Each structure stands twice: as C-alpha cells, then as structure tokens.
Chains A and B, each alone.
Chain A
Amino acid sequence: MLVLAVTVGVLTAAGVWLLQQRSMVRAIFGLTLISHAVNLLLLTTGVPGWRVEPLMSTAQAADAADPLPQAFVLTAIVISMATTIFMLALAVIGRDDDQEKVPETGEEHA
C-alpha cells in the first residue's frame, strides 16, 4: 500500500518538474508521467492486492477484483494515448515558433 502511494507521489513530482521545462517534448513526458500516476491512483481505489479476474463464470464475487477501476484505467489510457500523439504532432509542427519564427502572413506582432 505504501509502495503504491510513494510511487504515485514520485511519478507526480517528476511529471510536474518536467512540465516546468520550456521544451514541448519534456512537457509531454511530464504529462505522460502524471497520467501514469493518476492511473495507479485509480487502480488503488479497487483492492490493491492481487485478486482473481472478475469473470463471474470462474470466480467467486468475494475473491474477484473490482472491475470498475480497471475499466476507468483502460478508458483513461486510451484518452491519454490519443492526446499524447496529438501533442507530439504539435511539438513537431511548432518547433521554436514562439522564439524565432517570423510570421509569413504579413501580420504584425500585436
């Protein structure tokens, strides 16, 4: 139980630190770490010990794991994967455009 709590804490701290960096790619890594931390947190809301797969044809309800946090985590993983890919695309498109690139459209900086 303590191991899980410490892991969540370390992942979040590392993620927040990475998020403070200027580079977009580091920020993305930071967000990935935080989302892992949140996924672990969601899993701990079920019973954290190892339990039988929640298939009612083979297991007793008393021995089975809580399937709901697992469903939550699965959904969250899918969503965070999609956003990570989108952010990686943004990182490639907009490299350095906030520092060096001059607009080509004739607009002035205002």
Chain B
Amino acid sequence: MTELMTPGSLLALFVAVPLLCAGLSVILRQRVVDRILLVGVPVLAIAGAVALMLFHREVPVLASAIGAYEGGIAIPLVSDTLTALMLATTGLATAASGWFLTLTGEARLRFVPALALLLMTGVNGALLTGDLFNLFVFVEVMLLPSYALIAVTGTWRRLGLGRMFVIVNLVTSLILLMGVGLVYGSAGAVNLAVLAGRAAEDPQVALALTVVLLALAIKAGVVPVHGWLPRAYPGTSAGMMALFSALHTKVALYAIFRIYFTTFEPGSPSGAAGAGMASAVAGVIAVVVLATMVVGAIGSLGEQRFRGVLAFQMVAGVGHILIGVAVTSPAAVAAGLFYLVHHVVTMASLLTTVGAVEHTYGTGVLGRISGVMHRDRLAAVLVALGLLSLAGLPPTSGLWGKLGLGLAVAEAGETGPAGAWQTPVFLVAIVVSSVVTLVALQRLWGSSFAGAPLHRYWPAAPEGGRAKAQTLEGEVRIPLRLLAPGTMMMGVSIALFLFAGLLMPFIDTATAGLFETGPYIEAVLP
C-alpha cells in the first residue's frame, strides 16, 4: 500500500497515464499495442477510480497542488466521491466504446487510438481540476482530438458536420474563456475553493459565473442551445458517438453541478446581497431544464435514423439529470446523479448494439431495415432492454432513475424556484417526457426490429464505404463479438437495477460533498 503514502500526488496519474500512452501509441504503431492501450487504459482508470471511491469513505476530499505552490496560487487537482464516481463511469463507457472501435476495425485507422486516449486525458483532467481556467484548458484538450475523431469515420456528411462541430465548440470555448476572464476580473480568483459561496454574496461574480454556466450548458446540449448535438452525433460512426456521448456532455454536466453548487450554494438559506441574482439564475435554470426534458423527447419522434432518435434522447436525458440543479434538494441531486450514471451506461449499450446492426446491414435509417428481431435474437433483446431503460421501465436501471427523480421532486415541495408550482410542473414534465419517449421508441422498434423479414442490405465494400443494395442471404448475421460491448453494458444496467443499494451510499456521499463545501475548501486551501 505504498500508493496511499502520498495519495494526493497520485491524482495526476489519471491525466498523465492516458497522455503518455497516447504518445506511445503514435510511436510504436503496432496494432496489438494499440488495442491493448485503447481498452486497457480505461480499465486501469476504472480500477483507480473505484479505489479512489473506497478511499474517499475515510478521507472525503483529496487535493494536490501541482508544482507544490501555496494553496490559492497553485493549480489544484481535487477529487471527492463525485469526481471518483464520474471517473469510474466515464472510464467504463470509454472502455466499452474502445472495445467496440477495435471490433469494427475503426481502431486500425491511423491515430484513432492515440486520439481517443488524448480525449480521455482531457476528460479526466476536466473532472479533476479545481481551477476554472484549467477547466478551460482541459476542455480544449478534450475537444482537439474530438475535432479529428468526428471526421474520421461515419457517413459522407461527416466533413460538413465536423466543420459545424468545430465552429460551435470553438465559439462555446470562447464564451467559457470570456466567463473565466470576467470571473477573474470580478472576484480576483479562478480557484473554485476561493470562489466558494462568492456568487451568493456578490451579484457581479454571480453574473460572471452565469457566462461560464452558459458555455457549459451549450456543451451539455441544454435546450435552447442543443441544436448542434442531434445534428453532429448521428453523422459520425456509432463507436465514436458512444465515446462522445459518454464523455463530452457528461463532463459539462459534472462541471455545472460542481460550479453551481460550490459558488451559488443554493442549499443554504442566504439573505446576502447576491440573493436576487441567484434566484433569477435558479428561475432560468428551472425553465431551461423543463424545456430540455420535453423538447428532447418530442424531437426524437421526428428523427429518421436510429442514432438520430438516440441523440434526441440524450438531450432529454440531460434535462432529467439537471433536475438536480433545478430542484436543489439533496434527494433531487442524488436522483440526478444516479440518472447520470444510468444514462451513460444505457446509452453506451444502445449505441454499440445499434452500431453493430448498422455495421452489419449497412444502414441506420428507420424503415429501410425491418424484422431484425427474427434474424438476430440477442441484438433485439439488447435493444429492447435498452429502450425499456430509456423509458424508465424494469428490469433496468432506468426504473430507479425515473422513480428517484419523481419521488425527489414530489418530496421537495415548495422550496424550489417555482414555489408552489414546482412539484406539479416538474412531475407533469417527467411524465410527458416519458410517454413521448415511449411512443418514439416504439416507433423505432416497430419499424426496424419488428415487422417483415429483411430482404435487402448494404454490405461493407472492401475499398471502404458501402456497396449497392444487395439481396440478403440467409447466413448474414450480426457477428456475436460485435454485440459483446453492448451486452456488457446492458449487464451493468441490469446490475444497477438489482444492486442499486450498493451504489446509493456513494451517490449520497457525493451529494453531501456538493452541499457541504467545507471539506473541499479545507483540502484545497490548507
């Protein structure tokens, strides 16, 4: 147990190991090494994150000042239970996506493993950092490989979509940078521990922080600024989409939770000068969250492709997760965090399974393939379970996700920004979103998985891309190995349904860490 002797400095390994392995992958250029790194590094990260979660049962917050400068001047890497939970969840989804990329052969493309590892570097850094400017830098580290990855594989539209993705994300990054600058100008610091509670005291700091929150909302795909997500993601390949959906939006969501709860301290009653500003911000958040839930669900009704439907479901999921930020009771935050874990797992399972269907039959357009249920039983079962999970039905983690949110909203009563209206409005939004989601998913299932047997398909052409439609022969089936990552993630989802009790203590600790900022500040500023 020598690692625990200097626990704080080990946090940097979450950033350093993927970064060095990315370099290793570029230098060695061996397929075997690439495959081992692409799956092995995320697995290592999961192991490290689980160890960290167990460690946090005794030491709630672990901080390490990079370069051993004084607290407040140094750039800190900070980890608490929430951080460790996010590291484990994103690591799990990265491992599944990486596995799927090696199975479809996309990992053979030059630099793909290195870029995926760089993406992971940025994600881990953004989760660990306790400094707003450093957050901007790690978000850029995360985005630069994504710009390349989104254009590597997928349909021929990906180049145009890649340009759109770059421009949207670059503008967002500039807004984030602007917000960080304004925070520094108004508060004189960009260290989260120093900024703790400042937004509740000073309207100027609160205004500057809303610029930061706006940028993060764009990155998360919150409704009035969600348009880029359902357009960009279905254009890239399923494996890449699984990777992106687990990482990009979820990192932004984590940052929203962390920054909002640390700086605005919405849980504590305050009569401070910034209270008016803070309650205005809370009102805007409530409206936006409601819109995100409903618009995401309705949008998925109108999509023509598997992954278009799933992309809008991601938007709806973002709305559900952010209920924790809108209804700021501990129960709602815990339910939102559980929903986040559930959503990452379910989406990774669905995207890799649907990706296997697309990879085999050459199209992801609804109605162009049908009757997959009769040919590939396992794929059909996995997709059915995934859709049930999205709708919030057993035997999957979705049930506890939706139920937890509903109960938390019902319990929270009149304390939230919308006052007496809050409980009915949020409950109606959850129900409407779920029913519309069910209709949209039923349409996906009915047009493609049930129905007449398939008779045409578009086999992969040797020179890359897709050949002309061909008559489907009897022996063409989805290879079972392609379904393995989806099966694994669905197993995790069902395990979350059966053994949710094992995870809940960690989620409760993570929630408590958001409300009680004392230990966080003490660890960063000793």
Contacts and interface: CB of A to CB of B under 8 A. Distances in A.
Interface string A61-102: 000000011001001100100110011001101100110000
Given A86-B166, A98-B160, A106-B465, A38 B181 contact: yes
Residue with the highest number of chain B CB atoms closer than 10 Å, among A75, A76, A82, A98: A76
Contacts of A31: 167, 170-171, 174
Contact of B163 (A75, A90, A105): A90
Contacts of B304: 110
Interface string A19-38: 10000100100010011001
B184 interface: yes
Interface residues of A, number: 33
B466 A107 contact: yes
Nearest to B463: A105
Given A34-B174, A103-B156, A83 B181 contact: no
Contacts of A27: 167
A17 B464 CA distance: 39
A107 B368 CA distance: 13
Residue with the highest number of chain B CB atoms closer than 10 Å, among A69, A72, A97: A72
A72 B461 contact: no
Residue with the highest number of chain B CB atoms closer than 10 Å, among A38, A75, A103: A38
B499 to A, nearest CB: 42
A75 B138 CA distance: 12
Contacts, number: 90
A94 B163 contact: yes
B512 interface: no
Given A19-B167, A34-B171, A103-B156, A45 B181 contact: yes
Nearest to A91: B163
Nearest to A86: B147
Contacts of B182: 41, 45
Contacts of B465: 103-107
A79 B170 CA distance: 10
Nearest to B461: A106
B180 A83 contact: no
Nearest to B365: A110
Contact of B461 (A86, A91, A105): A105
B156 A107 contact: yes
A92 B360 CA distance: 33
B285 to A, nearest CB: 25
A7 interface: no
Nearest to B167: A27
A42 interface: yes
Given A87-B166, A90-B162, A105-B461, A38 B177 contact: yes
B476 interface: no
Interface string B151-178: 1000110011011001100110110011
A69 B440 CA distance: 49
B163 A24 contact: yes
Interface in A39-55: 41-42, 44-45
Contact of A19 (B147, B171, B464): B171
B481 interface: no
A68 to B, nearest CB: 7
A106 B467 contact: yes
B384 interface: no
Contacts of B171: 19, 31, 34
A56 to B, nearest CB: 14
Interface of B: 133, 137, 140, 144, 147-148, 151, 155-156, 159-160, 162-163, 166-167, 170-171, 173-174, 177-178, 180-182, 184-185, 304-305, 363, 365, 368, 458, 461, 464-468
4 closest residue pairs by CB, A with B: A105-B465, A45-B185, A103-B156, A98-B160
